Structures are given as C-alpha cells and as structure tokens.
Amino acid sequence: MEGQDDQDRNLRTVELTKRECTLLLKYGYPWPDVAERLRDSKAVRGYHRVPIDAYWIEMMLADVVRSAKEINSSTLLEELDALCSVLDCALENRPRIHAVSM
C-alpha cells in the first residue's frame, strides 16, 4: 500500500491544449501508457487534464528539449518552449496561467 501512496504523491495533473497534446505526443516520446492517456483524454473548456507521474513528465520534458535542438522553425520552437513551461508548472504543482482573450 505504501508504494501506491508514493505513486499517488508523484502524480501531477498536466493541463494541455489540443495543440500542446499533439506536440507532446510527437516530440516528448511518451511511454506507451502515458501516450494512451494523452490520446484518450477529453478536453474540457479547451484543456486536456491528464494525471501523469512526475518522473514521466521529467522524461518528456527532456525529450522535448532534445527534439528542439534539431528544429529550425522559430514558430515551432516557441510552441515547444511554451510546452516546456506547461510541463514545468505541472512538475511544481503550480496552476497553469490561461490566456485571456481581449
């Protein structure tokens, strides 16, 4: 039971837009069960809220950074940078700052 408590303690909720979810699947190289959770998640008010263990978030974050080193598109690099910020917020259990339309 203690192992389950440790697992639950390490779970973080990652809030992703559809685009960020797509980018994470492509550039974050998620483990198969994490990829399945990302694909199966349903957006609520435009955001997918997916519980993922902190360890896997760190691994995907590293993979996104590694992938970014091979990309020349400044627009895509900005999107990946924003995705890294989202993953970082999830790791620190900070709420995501949602964009406000003016």
77 φψ region: left (φ > 0), alpha (ψ -120 to 50), beta (else): alpha
**Confidence class for position 1, pLDDT limits 50, 70, 90:** very low
Cα 15 from Cα 101, distance rounded (Å): 18
* 80 contacts 23 by C-beta, under 8 angstroms: yes
Could you tell me how many residues make up the chain?
A: 102
Q: pLDDT, tens digit, for every residue of 27-49? A: 999 999 999 999 999 999 999 99
What 3-state class would DSSP assign to 53?
A: strand
- Read off the pTM: 0.85
* Amino acid, single-letter form, for residue 54: A
Across the chain, mean pLDDT equals 89
